[in-house]
Structure 1
Amino acid sequence: MARTREFDTEAAVGRAMDLFWARGYEATSVRDLTRHLGIGQGSLYAAFGDKDGLYRAALEHYRATLAADALRDLKEGADVRSAVRAMLVGRVRVAAGDGGRGCLMVNAACERLPRDPSVRRLVRDVQDASRDALAEVLEAAAERGEISRRHDPRTLAEFLVTFLNGLLVAAKVTPEPRTLEPLVEVALACLD
């Protein structure tokens, strides 16, 4: 007779996400995970298959929560400059937090690529969703005359995602929002 799972897998994934985010994939052992989650090794393997499965679940959780919130806030912003500024500054503040933990997705790309194709797909999906959301917001702003038509909205969106990735890496090196936030104003100048 199979035993019933005696822990909340969603809560465990959220806690694992925090641990992977703080330490990275390689520096987080299965033993670290079982201690942090308060579960046995057998339970971890039964629920997630292995460490890789739990890591992918943690990345998916990040995408469904923090990344999704940033995109929702972007689409709900009043004017495009304010919305893009708020999204970029918000991501910098999260990345600079906890001594410069960065962005879990960018960290995953830096640590796991090119050798992990499943992480590459997941990171690419998140970046594509960010680019598409930005392109949609920028296109609407261009149609309203809020921003210049000098650059294609999709190209601007791709630039902003690329800029954000660099900014998130910089937040690990210099975890000081007051130093990084002025760079956002330089990037926003491309909307003129």
Structure 2
Amino acid sequence: MARTKEFDPDTALQAALELFWRRGYEATSMAELVEELGIARASIYATFGSKRELYLRALERYGEQHNPVLLAELSQPGPVLPAVRGLVRRFAREAGEDGADGPGRGCFVTNTAVELAPHDPDAARRVAASLGHLETVLTGALVRAEAQGELPGGRDPRALARMLLVLMQGMRVIGKAGDGTARLRDAADQALALLD
């Protein structure tokens, strides 16, 4: 007779996501996962597989939580450019915020792009899919802005979306280095001036 799980896998996955997001893949040990999730090592392996598989599932969960929020922000009826500006400024502000233990934790996708994607094809595919989603959402918003007469003529919505994507992800990296608030704000302001 199979034993029933004595923990909620969904709650455990969320706890793993938070730990990996704070510490990164390499710096997170199985012992820390056992402690953070409050379940035995054997249960982690039986439910999620290896540490790497758990990390990749946590990365997918991150996208499931954050992608709909970005889409909702940029899909509201009415003027589009205020929402795009707000999103870029929010990325700059959040990237510049420090936590209680130092520079911010950044974006889980960006962290994965830096730490794992160069040598892990599965992580690289997930990062590419997430960045592709953000690019698509930004492009869609800027196409709407162009159609509504908010974006000056002659601008390429897709190229602008790509520039904003690279800027926003770069801001996350700069933010992790700490003390970049003025840099982040200035970069956001300069990039957003291209939308005028």
TM-score normalized by the length of structure 2: 0.90
Structure 1 distance, partners of 2:183, 2:78, is 26
More moved, 72-81 vs 17-26: 72-81
Aligned to 1:159: 163
Aligned to 2:177: 173
Structure 1 distance, partners of 2:6, 2:120, is 31
Paired letter, 1:34: V
Aligned to 1:8: 8
Query: Structure 1 stretches of 5 or more lacking a match?
Result: none
- Equivalent positions of 1:36-185 (< 5 A) are 36-76=36-76, 78-95=78-95, 96-98=97-99, 99-174=103-178, 177=181, 180-185=184-189
Paired letter, 2:160: L
How many residues were matched structurally? 192
Does the 8 Å CA contact 2:81/2:145 hold for their aligned counterparts?
A: no
Deviation, structure 1 residue 78: 4.2
Does the 8 Å CA contact 1:81/1:188 hold for their aligned counterparts?
A: no
Inter-CA distance 170–81: structure 2 relative to 1 (3 Å threshold): same
Query: Structure 2 stretches of 5 or more lacking a match?
Result: none
Paired letter, 1:38: G
Matched-pair identity in %? 39
Deviation, structure 1 residue 41: 0.5
SS, match of residue 75 in structure 2: helix
Structure 2 distance, partners of 1:34, 1:102, is 24
Structure 1 distance, partners of 2:81, 2:178, is 25
Structure 2 distance, partners of 1:175, 1:38, is 35
Two-structure CA RMSD over aligned residues (Å): 1.7
SS, match of residue 57 in structure 1: helix
Deviation, structure 1 residue 79: 2.4
